[in-house]
Structure formats: C-alpha cells, structure tokens
Chains A and B, each alone.
Chain A
Amino acid sequence: MSKYSVKPDLFIDFAGIRSPNPFWLASAPPTNTGEQIMRAFDVGWGGAVWKTMGAQVTNTASRYSSTNWNGQRMMGFSNIELISDRPLDVNLREMAEVKKHYPKQALIASLMVESTREAWHTIVEQAEDAGADGLELNFGCPHGMNERGMGSAVGQVPEYTEMITGWVKERARTPVIVKLTPNISDIRVVAQAAKRGGADALAAINTINSITGIDLDTLVPRPNVDGRSSHGGYSGPAVKPIALNMVQQVMSDPEATLPISGIGGIATWKDAAEFTLLGAGTVQVCTAVMHNGYRIVEDMIDGLENWMYEKGFQSMEDFRGLSLPKMTEWKDLNLNYKIVAQIDEAKCIGCGLCYTACWDGAHQCIHVDRVSGAVDGPVEFHAKPAEIEAISRKSIAVTPIPKLDGVKDEVRGSYTTPLARVPRVDETECVGCNLCSLVCPVDECITMVEVQTDLPAETWEERSSECLMKESC
C-alpha cells in the first residue's frame, strides 16, 4: 500500500510552463489544427506543441511508411511530411482560440523559419501574440527542410544552434525549448550549444533518418512518391531505447542539462515513467496517437497515477531523475557480481527457446539432460543440438488409436512438461548474461540468481589501475 492516501498530482511546471499533466502532443499531424488540439485536450492531454509554423511548404503524397514486426503493425513509423502547410495566419488565429477555451493546458508554438535574425524575431512575436505559453524551436526535422538550411541543418551544427537560440531569446517573453535532432554523433554537443544560446529547456529526440523498407515487387523504397522515395524521420516504439539513452546523456552532462521534454516511442504510462526517471519534465507523443488516437492518454494518466500511488510518489518531482544516479560508465560496474540462470521446472513449458538461445547466441551452458543425467562442463561434453533433433526425427510416432492402443487420447488439461524436455543450466559454465531469461516465453520461469563469490566489489577502473601498479597483468 501507498505511504499516502491522497491521489497523486501530475501537475508540471516545466521551465515556467504550467501543465495539468506531463503528457503533451508532439508537434506533428495530431496537432495540425485547433479543432484537433481541442478534442485532444477534451480527453485529457496536458499540453500540445502546435505543428511547426513558419516557412512555406508543399507536402507530398504519400508521406508515411512503417515497419511491422512479427505480425504487429507499426513497430516503427517513418514520415517525409514537412512542417505545417496551412497559412500562418490561420494557425495563429486558431491558436488564439484554443488558448481562450483551454487556458490551463500548455500550448506551445513550434517554429521554423529561414535562418535570419529578422525572420525569427517576427515569428516569435506572432506566436506569442497568439497566446503561446512557450516556443519550441524545430532544429531537428531531418527531411526536406534541412535541404533548405532549416531543421536538422541547424541542429547538426552547434554554432548555428547557439546563434539562432540567441536570436530567439532576444525577443522571446515565454520559455524557449530547443528540440534536438538525434542525427548527430553526440547529442550533448548541440544541447550544450542550446544552453549557451540561452535556451530555457530542451526537447529530445526528433525523428531519426531512416528508410523503412523496400517494396520487393517494384523495388521502390517506402514511402513511394510516384516511383521514388526519400529518407524519412523514424519514430514509434522502435526508437524509444535510443531516445532514452539520449535523454540520459543530456541529463547527465552538467554543461547541457536543462529541463527536458522527452520524446521518442512513448505510448504508455510506463514509457512516460521511464523518461521521467531519467529526468524528463514532460513527455511528448505523436506516433502512438497516429496509430490509436487521442484516447490513449486516458490510460497514460490513470496508469501513471496508479503506479505513483503504489510507489508512494505524490508528485512528478518525487521521482523525476531517480534513475539517473543508477546509470554509470561501464568501467564503474562491479566485475565481481555473479549471477546464474535457474529454470523452474514447474513453470517450464518445454519450448527449448532458452536452449537454442544459449547454444547459438550465448555460452552453451543449457542442456536437456535432467533425465539422461546431468553433465556439467564445456561444450565438448555435450551432444550437439542437431544430434538431439536427429534422434527425434528417427523415432516412430503413430496416431494414438484407443481401439488399437487400449488408451483414450490423453487429456492435456493438467499439462505438466515431461522432465525430459525441461532444460537445465550448468551453473559452472553460466556467465549470467540474461539471454535465456529474455527469450523464455513464461513469466518468472527463468530467474537470474545471485551467487555469493566472497569477493569485494571491484570495478574495471579499480582492477586496471591495480594491474598498472603491480605490473602483473
């Protein structure tokens, strides 16, 4: 049970931008019009970043493509859509209307214009006059706009990022968020530049350069625009791990760290909690809404509240950044920590996925020998997978016929796996890599259990400096 009995409060003050919850719609098709944003606010979104306004564009047909995985649609999503193709005055008029009707929600204007001081000054004034609570500078769009010296063409050059952020800050009265591109070797360099330029906050990540695939009939990559394609910006569940890493990198760098809005593959409250644990103040969502609509926010809010309630967190600040100290460099990990895999024979269904994974992808220390007799030791001591399968293939199997065999067909209701099919871990060879527990389809069937080594914790840093001193290794 919770330490607290009151309902957790999701309220956020993000660099001075107030929002009833951390869930913002990212600048994208779901925030194309005022009508859309008002419907989104109606179902619970705490904020919205208006689809980028500024330079004149024309969009193509088609614009999107996706990667499916194992029968699931849109594990990854790619777009070649540019910024808003609506007239600026229409966007600004609608923005004012939304702000009037929804004063509590955060309304952010995403901006992108040609790289001149005057152009930026003008658009900043226009957006703020329309009632924007904050400005997000789109230095990340990886397609189309960058060919015209905007978007990621700015975000990939630290000097440009610093300069334009500076121009904006000369005029801005509201907080300025710089949205970072991941299409760069070290995101911290640009984050530092934005901070030097005076940015109040960051948003990361924008989409990742991508080709989602190629039509194997026509040989045209996707998406197909009249027989040709162009690289797109990748998003969706596939990019979340990359985004988490980049957020952590920025938040662990004192010269870069600022309030950050986490973006990249967020679709559930768990994703949001993870970004927050790495320091994000708000999260932005696009692809999940494009897949399943605005109402996904209902469970994002509810799920996050329930989790906070169980963990005893009353506010977002109670847990923001708590996982940051648990990330270190590799050299600071304890090399004397030992775990081994254990397989629960009562839960095992006998699929053998752990066996295959260990033999082909790990260290050949899982064996199917509980009945034939356990043998520990190196790979030479054991039958090869192909030899085991060959024996099964040679066996004579027949359809059980009650009349001929004298037994009724077996009822599988109280299924237990024959012990002969339950694999076993040779703990003397197991390196504790986790792979078997990752591939196992049964919850809690394979657990990684700590083995006491009686050795004190020791990092690579410590071990290698010791080696240097002793000159022994």
Chain B
Amino acid sequence: MQELLQQVPEIAEIFSDLHPPFEAPMAVIESNRCLNCFDAPCTGACPTHIDVPKFIKKIASGNLRGAALGILDANVLASSCARVCPVEVLCEGACVMHGLNERPIEIGRLQRFAMDDFDLHGGKLPQRSDENRPEKIACIGAGPASLAAAAELKQQGFQVTVFDKRPLPGGLNTYGVAEYKLPLVDSLREIELIRELGVEFRFGVEIGDETSLAELEAEFDMIFIGVGLGAVHRLNIPGSSLPGVVEALQFIEDYKTGKTPEIAGNVVVVGAGNTAIDAAIAAKRLGAKEVSILYRRTREHISAFDFEYRQALQEGIRFIWLTQPMAVHGSADGIISVECVRVEIAVDGSLKPIEGSGFHLDCGMVIPAIGQAPMLELLAQCRNVDLEHGRVVVDRATGQTTNPKYFAGGDCVNGGREVVDAVADGKRAGVTIARLLEAAYV
C-alpha cells in the first residue's frame, strides 16, 4: 500500500483540486465570518454532527490541533469528507448567512484547512480508552461505514478486524470518488491513521457464503456489515458487452489506479447522476474530444446535485436530454457509435419513443452510469438479518439489525448516499456495540 501513497504527477495535474485549500490568513478571515450560532444549523445538517462553529472558532484562535481533534471526534474520515461532501446541501446549505444574502461560511474548505494542518504535523488518531478489551468485532467491507465503526471500537479498546475483497481499503472513497475531489492517495493516507490505531485489515477476502459467515460468527462477538451496494445495473441493449463499454465505477477506478491514463475520441455517458457526472468530467480531463451525457428525461429530473450539473457544464460536458440509447455499434476492436432515439414524456410520466427520431452518436467509448443494485447474494446469507427493498433493516439510532449480533451501515442500509452518511452510520453502530459489550462484560 505504501507505494500507492505517491500520486502520479500527470494525474495530479489533470485532476487538480476543484476547491483549492485556504491560505492561512484567508482561513482566519473566513473563520471570523462565522457567527458561532447557537444549536448551529450546520452542525444539525451534518450527518456526523461535527460541531462546526466550535472547530471554526478554534481555527480563528490559531488552535488548529484542537480544531482537527474536535472534528475527528465526530467524524474519523474528516479529511475526505471535507473534500467530497456535497456541502451545498448539507452544512453550507444550512448556514444562516443565506438569510443575509451572503455566501455561506466555507465550512468544507475550513475543515480541510484544519485537517491538512493535522496531517502536516503527523497527527495521530487519539485513543479514547487505555483499556485493552478482549471482545472481537468483524467489519465486512472496508468502506467508510466499516472504517468509522472500526475506528470507534478500536479507540475504545476493542479488537477489530476489517475484511475486504479488494486489495485496498476505503471502498468507494478510494476507488469511486472523482480524483479532483479526493485523490486516491489521500484516501489511503487517511485510512493509514486508522490502521495505526491497531485495526487489523484482511484484504482479498471475499465473505459471501454460508461457511465464511459461520466462521466469522464463531470467531467474532459482533459483526458489522458495511458492504455497500453491489453490481452495477447493466445497460441491456445490443452491443453493451463490446469492449469500449465501461461501466462508470469501473472507469473511475481504472483512471484513479492509473489503468486508463488517457482517452481519445468521443465519449458517451448514459445516465445523469453524480457518478455519471464524475465519469464525464474525468473522461474530458483525460483527453476525450467530446463528452455527451445521454438522459432519457430532462434537467429537472436528474439525480445529480445542482452544483455537480453546473460543474459539468463548466467543464464542457454536453447534455442530450430526452434521449435513450438503443444499441452500441462496433466490433471486437472497439466501438463506433451509439444508436439513440428521442423520447417524449407522456402525461402519466411514462416515456414514449418518438418514431423516426433515431440517430447515431459517433464515439469510441460508452460509459453506463445507471446505478448499483443491492448486494443481495451476501446479505441474504446473514441469518435473521431482515432486508427491505434490498436494504438491511436497522434501528437508525444504533445501527442494530434484526439479528442482535449484526449491525449495519452505509449504502447497504441507506440505499446509496454520501461518505458522511456512511461514517455517521458506522460511528453510531460502533458506539452502540461498545456500549453493549461493556454492559455484557460487567
């Protein structure tokens, strides 16, 4: 993992920060703009309830270490959340400055300022307890939810092992976040702090069948499920298995790990969610001539955040509304075009292809980005863990599933939200597990 902690210079240049870090005097000025609200709406809007005014006032006073430790106390993935959080709909969206027709306090950038300083000075995650507890907890999946649960439990002295089928930890935080928001190396650096706490990681381990789950149950006192979502939805049209059709998350993983260093020709992205936009912008920055996003409805219906959509426009991404792909044309050597048809939205909201509206979009790459399916194969194996619509049913305040030995959090519970939601889930579960084990111990 250590060798991966160096970012490829070319990639770093192409994917320079979307929101560059603060210079120190500017961070102080921005901190001083914060009104220090009572029962602050930003804190309330944050899924991990970071005490925002508290850390901002610490930046203002020059107590950067205190600021970072305060943030980490609520959110162990504070560095990455500072960069990947959709702050416009969370803390900054709730800022009272909107009421004065002023820019909200730049909470995300201030948090990053505190966390960058913490990293620069070699800051370590603090232990919450000196005790070394014998109880063992397994976390399935090494994404943000599991990491948050694992860190909380390890900080309280428990024995924690995190399993993941991939070679690197972090889940989508490592493999799936646009590089201009969070470079892969920074995700790994952050997780290194959790490993240094003493959390054990076992990579390349696929937990999935009954045997492996039974073994886990035998070895561990509690099990946390943080497996995220499963396979991506496939583009079920002719030609969708041709090489050159690369699913969005795979595409993002490939360029982040250096497997797709550049792109030539046109790219068509299918779907208009946040991942579609991440993929489209990346394709453009990697050299694609023209990048088009196909979407079967209109702008009002896209699931991407508004600021993501505007970012895409700024980067020169073309949106083609009311259009559906019908077939991908090409050969085993590559693809040539996507055949599309225009659709119209009927009164009842259903889509109707417009006859004779077919056309071809020339392109060398098609990136479907139409969502992920739940991880049903695995989840179905967990005994007495109830699912609903493919999601694990939990008590929201504790993360406990219908099987008291199992806890769950993150995308497999909430259906696919943000890193910060997963961290909040994991933290709540970690706190609860610790409390229950504590109670049982006495």
Q: Tell me the A residues contacting B by CB distance below 8 Å.
A: 70-71, 348-353, 355-356, 368, 385, 388-389, 392-404, 408-410, 412, 415-417, 421, 441-442
Report Cα–Cα, A409/B86, bound state, in Å: 11
Of B43-51, B177-185, B215-223, the segment with at least 4 beta carbons within 8 Å of chain A is B43-51
B416 in contact with A389 (CB, 8 Å): no
Report Cα–Cα, A412/B88, bound state, in Å: 10
Report Cα–Cα, A36/B100, bound state, in Å: 43
If over half of A's interface residues share one DSSP class (helix, strand or loop), that class is named, otherwise mixed; here it is loop
Given A70-B60, A392-B43: A399 touches B397 (CB 8 Å cut-off): no
Chain B residues, Cβ within 8 Å of A356: 38
Report Cα–Cα, A300/B148, bound state, in Å: 58
A396 in contact with B41 (CB, 8 Å): no
Q: List 8 A-B contacts (CB under 8 A).
A: A350-B96, A350-B99, A355-B38, A385-B39, A389-B39, A393-B49, A408-B300, A442-B99
Chain B residues, Cβ within 8 Å of A352: 37-40
Report Cα–Cα, A403/B416, bound state, in Å: 10
Given A392-B43, A397-B46: A403 touches B99 (CB 8 Å cut-off): no
Chain B residues, Cβ within 8 Å of A350: 37, 41, 96, 99
Report Cα–Cα, A395/B100, bound state, in Å: 27
**Nearest neighbor of A391 in chain B, beta-carbon distance:** B39
Report Cα–Cα, A391/B360, bound state, in Å: 56
Chain A residues, Cβ within 8 Å of B300: 408
Chain A residues, Cβ within 8 Å of B85: 399
Pairs A-B, 5 closest by C-beta atoms: A352-B38, A349-B99, A403-B303, A71-B32, A71-B29
Check if B415 is an interface residue, CB within 8 A of chain A: yes
Report Cα–Cα, A31/B355, bound state, in Å: 86
**Nearest neighbor of A357 in chain B, beta-carbon distance:** B38
**Nearest neighbor of B74 in chain A, beta-carbon distance:** A393
Chain B residues, Cβ within 8 Å of A351: 35, 37-38, 96
Chain A residues, Cβ within 8 Å of B418: 399, 401
Report Cα–Cα, A408/B88, bound state, in Å: 13
Given A70-B32, A350-B99, A421-B41: A399 touches B303 (CB 8 Å cut-off): no
Chain B residues, Cβ within 8 Å of A417: 96, 99
Interface string of B293-306 (1 = CB under 8 A from A): 00000001001011
Which of A70, A349, A415 neighbours the largest number of chain B CB atoms within 10 Å of its CB?
Answer: A349
Report Cα–Cα, A292/B253, bound state, in Å: 54
B44 in contact with A392 (CB, 8 Å): yes
Chain A residues, Cβ within 8 Å of B371: 403
Chain B residues, Cβ within 8 Å of A442: 99-100
Report Cα–Cα, A416/B99, bound state, in Å: 7
Which of A348, A388, A410 interacts with B93 by CB under 8 Å? Answer: A410
Chain A residues, Cβ within 8 Å of B44: 392, 395, 397
**Nearest neighbor of A393 in chain B, beta-carbon distance:** B49
Which of B25, B28, B39, B417 interacts with A399 by CB under 8 Å? Answer: B417
Check if B260 is an interface residue, CB within 8 A of chain A: no
Report Cα–Cα, A355/B417, bound state, in Å: 34
B39 in contact with A398 (CB, 8 Å): no
B60 in contact with A398 (CB, 8 Å): no
**Nearest neighbor of B28 in chain A, beta-carbon distance:** A71
What 13 additional pairs, Cβ within 8 angstroms, besides A71-B60, A395-B44, A408-B300? A71-B31, A349-B100, A353-B38, A356-B38, A392-B44, A392-B49, A396-B47, A397-B45, A397-B49, A401-B417, A409-B88, A410-B93, A416-B99
